[in-house]
Amino acid sequence: MRNLSWSILGALACGLPVACADPCIDDGLGQAICPTQNSAGDTEGATDSSSATMGSVTMSSATAATMTMGMSGSQTSGETDSDTEGTADGTAEGTATQGETGGSLWCVDADGDGYGDPDQCQNSDEPIDGSVPNGDDCDDSNPATFPGAAPNDDPDACMQDEDDDDWGDDMPPPGVDPGTDCLDEDDTVSPGAAENEPRLCAQDEDDDGWGDDMPPPGVDPGSDCADDNPNAFPGAAEEEDPPDLCAEDEDGDGWGDLDPPPGVEPGNDCDDENADAFPGAAPNEDPPDLCTVDADGDGWGDANPGGGGGGPGPQSGSDCYDANPDLNPDTLQLTAFAPYQGGPGAVRTIQTIDPANADLNLFVTLTTPMGGIPNVNLVSATLNEAGEIFASDLTNVQLVTADYAGTCMMGQGVLAPAGMPYAPAGTVVCGLEFDGAGTLYGIDLNDTLRTFDPATGQLTGMPIPLQDGGVPINVTSCGMAYDCTGDRLLLANGGDWSIYEIDRVTGQSTVLRDLDPFFGPQWTPVGLEYDPVSGNAYLSIGPSLWEVELDSAAPPVLVGNFAQTVSNLQYLPICQ
């Protein structure tokens, strides 16, 4: 065979014609048809490179010079005879190639990841079920292992990525390229998972950019004191000292929860569920770093903030109207309607009261809508959170409104009926007050608690008898106030020199102060107002003004004597 091969190759190399006898000589090419004799220029279409057509195989003289009959294309004349197909070493290529029989290489893909097992390949003219046209898989038993499985490590390397985070296992099985993922069973763990600690292979379970400070074995510890809470991490509460405190700031106000979960460092936020509550929220308070709520942003803290949020809750400020920035201790002043029991021709006014000495000063003069002098006897008044002023007129048994917002600077105001008379002539309501829910209450001389509809000026609901432990209270003259800090409806009863807290549902009247030892004659008329700054009450008993501590036994303090008798007390807005 070797001699015949060299003879044919020599003839082709020299450009000599190659002929076959009949029957054909077995030349080792497995020809079905004997090639025809030709020479340069003998056959139409022949080229200068002298080719021999053998069946379906065409060889140039140059190609034939490098091939040995019956041997693979990669074997040279110095090699021995071989029946091996494919590459010289007898193994499958990584990418499918045309086989000697004319088919393609197909490799088993047992794990279905699109990459075939290089040890299980065969040639086929048609696709084979369960196979793919490549043999690139380094572990065909694991669908998480294949070339490019971990592109963050190497887009081409054959790595294992069990948790599908695009990082390769740093301790894979034999034969698999190692990556840099220190915990390939957890997709919250990878190099740079905690972006604020990029050099670490850390765990960031809550995705806040900080690594768990107590991670599983093999994972780099980070700085996050609560990796199950995205609101807790170093610097979460930037207003704290130090600013990188590992605190919880659930409401995003820059202050850390005062009473956080275990493992988290406490901050100074008394209500971490309310972004309006934090130390210094209301700088006008004393102290200015009081942890309170200032919902309307006027610099004054809510007098009754409620809340809690995992901490002790916000502290009470001095703003009884924290939904209205125009109403606060800076914009309200203590006032009284005057004169008390003035006749039909008496000019009606609102007087300001100096809380230091009880001096009265004219604030506005009140007229009817037509500019006349109102024929009224105003014994009590109140203000709601919308800034609306209501008063009780005993002359006409009506609720009236007082409005001076647009004419205050000119010292003018208007009194107008809120509705029709609410009761027969002679009915007396000696107290009038809004509570924090906006309900308007009054006390009549039948010793019952009444409610009004401000929109119509009419009484609503059933009367609630006032009683103390089942014993009725005899109200002779009265003033009412609302303690916005403690959410208490207060009654000053001139008949027994006492200040009560009234239960608005049952009428139970609890004595807060029994002032009988400090006063002689019964109080008449009576006015009462709560001061949210001091937490005390102002009490007028006709000719004089007193300051009373509601929750202690301290004696009342005389502020001063009025220049005229005063029936009611009320904080009302100043001119703005």
Task: Round to whole Å and give the CA distance between 415 and 224.
Answer: 64
> Does residue 238 form part of some domain?
no
> Does residue 19 form part of some domain?
yes
Q: Is the pLDDT of residue 21 over 90?
A: no
Q: What is the pLDDT of residue 512?
A: 98
Identify the band that residue 315 occupies on the pLDDT scale cut at 50, 70 and 90: very high
CATH code where residue 489 lies: 2.120.10.30
Task: Round to whole Å and give the CA distance between 302 and 300.
Answer: 7
Mean predicted lDDT score pLDDT of the chain: 84
> Does residue 268 form part of some domain?
no
Identify the band that residue 464 occupies on the pLDDT scale cut at 50, 70 and 90: very high
Q: Is the pLDDT of residue 405 over 50?
A: yes
Domain boundary among 12, 46, 65: 65
Q: For residue 338, what is the enclosing H or E element?
A: strand 332-338
Query: pLDDT tens digits for 145-181?
Result: 999 999 999 999 999 999 999 999 889 999 999 988 8
> Does residue 409 form part of some domain?
yes
Q: What is the pLDDT of residue 192?
A: 85
> Does residue 189 form part of some domain?
no
* Alpha-carbon separation of residue 263 from 226, 266, 349 (angstroms): 7, 9, 63
> Does residue 349 form part of some domain?
yes
Range 114-133 average pLDDT: 94
Task: Round to whole Å and give the CA distance between 545 and 481.
Answer: 15
> Does residue 495 form part of some domain?
yes
3 compared with 142, residue with greater pLDDT: 142
33 compared with 284, residue with greater pLDDT: 284
Q: Looking up tokens 């006014």, which residue turns up?
A: 349
> Does residue 503 form part of some domain?
yes
Identify the band that residue 408 occupies on the pLDDT scale cut at 50, 70 and 90: confident
What domain count does the chain have? 2
Domain of 16 in residue numbering reads as 2-65
Domain boundary among 65, 87, 109: 65
517: helix, coil or strand?
helix
Which amino acid is residue 374, in one-letter code? P
Q: What is the pLDDT of residue 102?
A: 59
Q: What is the pLDDT of residue 143?
A: 96
Q: How many CA atoms lie within 13 A of 344 on its CB side?
A: 1
Query: pLDDT tens digits for 186-242?
Result: 888 889 889 999 999 999 999 999 998 999 999 999 999 999 999 999 999 999 999
* Alpha-carbon separation of residue 300 from 64, 208, 252, 437, 573 (angstroms): 101, 34, 21, 20, 15
> Ranked by mean pLDDT, which of 32-41, 84-93, 478-487 comes out on top?
478-487
Q: How many CA atoms lie within 13 A of 38 on its CB side?
A: 18
Q: What is the pLDDT of residue 269?
A: 95
Percent of the chain with pLDDT over 90: 70
Domain boundary among 47, 65, 83: 65
Could you give the angle at the alpha carbon of 338 between the alpha carbons of 335 and 344, nearest 5°? 155
Q: How many CA atoms lie within 13 A of 93 on its CB side?
A: 13
Identify the band that residue 368 occupies on the pLDDT scale cut at 50, 70 and 90: very high
